[in-house]
Amino acid sequence: MLHQILGSLLLLSVGGQAAKIQGCKPFPSSMDEFSGNFQQPQPPTVRTEFGTSFIQHKWNTNLSHVTAGYIENSAERKFVRVSEAYDGNLASSAFEYSNVTAEGQVNNVLTTYEANSTTPSVWTGYVISNFPIFEKDILVTSSAVFSGLVKRPFFDEEVASWSILYLGQIPTTIYTTDCNVVVGYDYFSPGLRTRVVTEFFNIKAN
């Protein structure tokens, strides 16, 4: 049951110790923006089959929305599933990235249990998702620009930040480890002047 799955997810401590993904070469000094031997690095390919706990904050002048849960990303299946909890509600979104409109809207099946409800509501339609699919070449095909090495919550080491225009119009920053594992992303939606920050932790990447 959805509410049982999400209930177990929330037992994970968001405030746990910072994580470090082992077995990767450290970033070279040429990626230090103020190093004398700095060179703009080429954007890497990223890991595409992973599951991760997440916390996301979305806000503008009219709302402040925080949600937490678990994301499954599979570029091979062109599928993203997001199980989340917010404001006492439990929800699961299945995004079929094999079914996308010319405007970039993706088919979504959203199942929601409202607070204290045992009966789900199910909605199906096309949306611009808060949860993009991470294809292997997302940074390459988007002509990503290196934006520096930065610290992110839940990680001991610095991670690389990469700036792109998602769907050709949404300013987005994607963060990767030295193993090219995505550890989060931020974006700004100009139309509604909305900011979204998404942090990953407890990542399991293939």
| Closest residue by Cα to residue 76 from 39, 33, 47, 36 | 47
pLDDT at 25: 83
For the segment 33-40, the average pLDDT, to the nearest whole number, is 94
Task: Give the pLDDT band (50/70/90) at residue 22.
Answer: low
pLDDT at 117: 87
Task: Give the pLDDT band (50/70/90) at residue 15.
Answer: very low
How far, in Å, CA of 17 to CA of 202, rounded?
A: 10
- Which burial class, exposed, middle or buried, applies to 22 when counting CB atoms under 10 A from its CB (0-12, 13-18, 19+)? exposed
CATH topology assigned to domain 2-11+50-58+68-205? outer membrane lipoprotein receptor (LolB), chain A (2.50.20)
Pairing of strands 79-86, 89-100: antiparallel
pLDDT at 4: 45
For the segment 137-150, the average pLDDT, to the nearest whole number, is 98
Query: What are the structural domain ranges in the chain?
Result: 2-11+50-58+68-205
What pTM was computed for the model?
A: 0.88
pLDDT at 11: 43
Neighbours of 166 (CB within 10 A): 18
pLDDT at 23: 64
Q: Higher model confidence: residue 143 or residue 191?
A: 143
